[in-house]
Amino acid sequence: MTLSLTDIRAMLRIARSNALQIALPAIVLAALAVGYILTRTPTYTAHSSMVITNSKLGFSPDDAIYAESQVDPTFLLTQIEVLKSDKVALNVVDNLKLADSLEESADTEPSAGTAEGDPTASSNTDIRRQQALQLFKQNMQVNRVELSYVVDVAYSSNDANKAARVVNDITRAYLEDLDAARAELAQSASPAIRDRIKGIGAQVRIISVAAPPLYKSNIGGVVLLLGSIIGGLAIGLGWVFGRELFGKAIQTPDHAMTATGRECFGMLPWIANASKSGRDEVDLLNLSYAVDNPESTTWNTLRRVAVALDVHPDNRSGKLRRVGITSTSAGEGKTTVAAHLAGLIASTRARVLLLDCNIFHPTLSEKFGATGGILNVLSSKEAKLADFVSVDARTGVHVLPIGSRKDEDLSATYVRSEEMDLFLRQLEKQYDYVILDLPSMGPTYDVRAAADYCDHLLVVIDCGKVPADNLQVALALSGSAPEKLIGTVINRYHKHELKVLSYARRVLSRVPGSNKFMLG
């Protein structure tokens, strides 16, 4: 599989748009690594090397008995196991009194008044001795050096001098075990060959004696920090690209563009004000939000929509632009987007009518507390538009609510009727734009009818909650909606990553010495 230049650019675009999500695991792991490096206990590892060969009895033609070296691949492995045996280990534990250096735990501590010969005291001593043996074997390493007959004996401790003492005592205990084995074998042999037997078996030559190490054997702080950063970046990249490849919910402009084949104008954060309950509530009444916050993400995204509507090739000079705002399902924030888009367009001195056409969820009408609106105009020849229009003082947007809905089925029919199309045509002399807050493309067919009398449709996508398949099916079932679709906006993305990053920085700043990268 080869990557084209387009694929590489797409990957770079995904990485750039998700840079914080990629970097966040690396930041967290780096902070943890720094904390560990600054608080970890140092470890020192001492080494000693010895050459171990095998000698067996040989016989000359004159019946002379002598020791000769034998090549046996399994012999060295056997001696390594002897070095790691409990017998040698316990010899070192007892000789250096390693059990005495262990902290006595509550369940092994002798009770007050225990007699010296009490079985309980003896049992506690055996327990500490076994604990010391296990700790000893965890910290000891015996390895063959490549294919040679050289064996490396190592021991790790937080005390450099202790590490060296233990390694040298392992060598002593091993040599004593060899001598004892030879002496036992010699006792069972005849006096004539007893001296010869003492020279056979394992022969050891010490080639390096352990000395207290000068440097810590812990993995280097810089290496650990770099490893944590690289690992964190790998996790972040895996998460982001895995989500791109296998995730179904639309979360980025790339997702939206792939799903619809149209431009995604950007991502809108929560447009909210703090309520007394501490929760975020949509500030729907403030139609001037985007106007009052120039250069903000909201302003930039909605401005792209406004420019796209203004320069669309189907637009003619003086023609009313009828723009429907919809979504895949209810609750994705399309009403809020419609309101603030109307406010931004009106700020350019355009004449804008914001029309609530959502008969089942008339959020816009409820926010403005209206009792009459478009349904009244459509159902009565005597009703006048001016009687039901509200004007936003800050932006100049005209707002026309849905009106009475005593019979919902009949009301919905009016919204989808030819009267609605005729009514919109009559607005060309009064307005430059009509922004229609339409129902969602879900279970009803209102958008299918509305698409016929709208010039353009803008789809609002709730970030991370709308599967691409659902959006595609909804568009396919909405009549001419795909042809009228000018693009999409992704709504209500959260900036949690920035909050987590800020928290990580605060935590890192509290780690003692974090500004001094003496991480060795």
**Which has the higher per-residue pLDDT, 114 or 26?**
26
C-alpha–C-alpha distance, residues 472 and 457, integer Å: 14
Q: Measured between alpha carbons, how far is residue 280 from residues 250, 274, 277, 299, 500 in Å?
A: 23, 5, 9, 20, 19
Per-residue model confidence (pLDDT) at position 263: 93
The closest of 55, 67, 60, 53 to 193, measured between CA atoms, is: 67
Question: Which positions ≥6 away from 274 have C-beta within 8 Å?
Answer: 280
Q: Per-residue pLDDT averaged across 194-221, rounded? A: 82
DSSP string computed for 205-216: EEEE-----SS-
pTM (predicted TM-score): 0.53
Q: Which pLDDT score is estimated for 414?
A: 63
Q: What is the pLDDT of residues 365-403, one digit of tens each?
A: 887 776 788 888 887 777 788 888 988 888 899 999 887
Q: Concatenated DSSP letters for 342-383?
A: HHHHHTTT--EEEEE--SS--HHHHHTT-S--HHHHHH-SS-
At 235, list the tokens. 């996790």
- Least confident segment among 258-262, 310-314, 328-332, 432-436: 310-314
DSSP label at 153?
A: E
Per-residue pLDDT at 431:
93
Over 50: is that where the pLDDT of 275 sits? no
Contact between residue 378 and residue 388 where contact means Cβ atoms under 8 Å apart? no
The pLDDT of residue 276 is 39
Q: What value does the mean pLDDT of the chain take? A: 80
Burial class (CB in 10 A: 0-12, 13-18, 19+), 233: middle
Give the C-alpha separation, 197 to 178, whole Å. Answer: 12
Nearest to 401 by CA among 450, 437, 361, 365: 365
Write out the DSSP string of 44-68: EEEEEEEEEEEEEEEE-TT--EEEE
Mean pLDDT of 455-462: 94
Report the range of poorest mean pLDDT among 54-58, 65-69, 463-467, 488-492.
65-69
- For 401-437, write each residue's pLDDT tens digit: 887 655 555 555 666 667 788 888 888 889 999 999 9
> Stretch 260-282: mean pLDDT, rounded?
64
Q: In 488-516, which positions are buried (b, 16+ CB within 10 angstroms) versus exposed (e)? A: bbbbbbeeeeeeebeebeeebeeeeeeee
Read off the pLDDT band of 294 (50, 70, 90).
confident
Helix (H, G, I), strand (E, B) or coil at 26: helix
Query: Residue 363's pLDDT band (boundaries 50, 70, 90)?
Result: confident
Range among 51-65, 73-87, 377-391 with highest mean pLDDT value: 73-87
- Most confident option among 228-237, 284-293, 436-445, 488-497: 228-237
The amino acid present at 4, given as its one-letter code, is S
Q: Which residues contact 191 (CB under 8 A, 6 or more apart)?
A: none
Mean pLDDT value across residues 15-25: 85
- Judged by average pLDDT, the poorest of 50-54, 207-211, 364-368 is 364-368
Q: According to the per-residue pLDDT averaged within each range, which of 54-58, 102-106, 157-161 is highest?
A: 157-161
The pLDDT of residue 249:
82
Do 255 and 285 form a contact (C-beta atoms < 8 A)? Answer: no
440 residue type, one letter: S
Of residues 390 and 62, the one with the higher pLDDT is 390
Rounded to an integer, what distance in angstroms lies between the CA atom of residue 121 and that of residue 127?
10
- Which of residues 148 and 446 earns the better pLDDT score? 148
Which of 469, 492, 496, 494 shows the shortest CA–CA distance to 335?
492
Q: Does 311 score more than 90 pLDDT?
A: no
- Say if residue 120's pLDDT is above 80: no
Check whether 42 has a pLDDT greater than 70: yes
**How far is residue 345's CA from residue 435's CA, in Å, rounded to a whole number?**
10
The pLDDT value given to residue 210: 94
Q: Tell me the C-alpha distance between 490 and 265, whole Å.
A: 8
Confidence of residue 312 (pLDDT cuts 50, 70, 90): confident
The average pLDDT across 237-246 equals 77
Mean pLDDT, range 308-332, rounded to an integer: 84
Question: Above 60 in pLDDT, residue 513?
Answer: no
With a CB cutoff of 8 Å and minimum separation 6, the contacts of 305 are: 265, 341, 458, 486, 487, 489
Q: What pLDDT score was predicted for residue 11?
A: 77
Separation CA 491–CA 440 (nearest Å) = 15
Domains of the chain in sequence order: 44-110+117-208 (no CATH), 271-493 (3.40.50.300)
Distance between start and end Cα atoms, the chain: 42
> What are the pLDDT digits (tens) for 134-153?
999 999 999 999 888 899 99
* pLDDT higher at 109 or 267: 267
Q: What is the DSSP string of 379-400?
A: H-SS--GGGT-EE-TTT--EEE
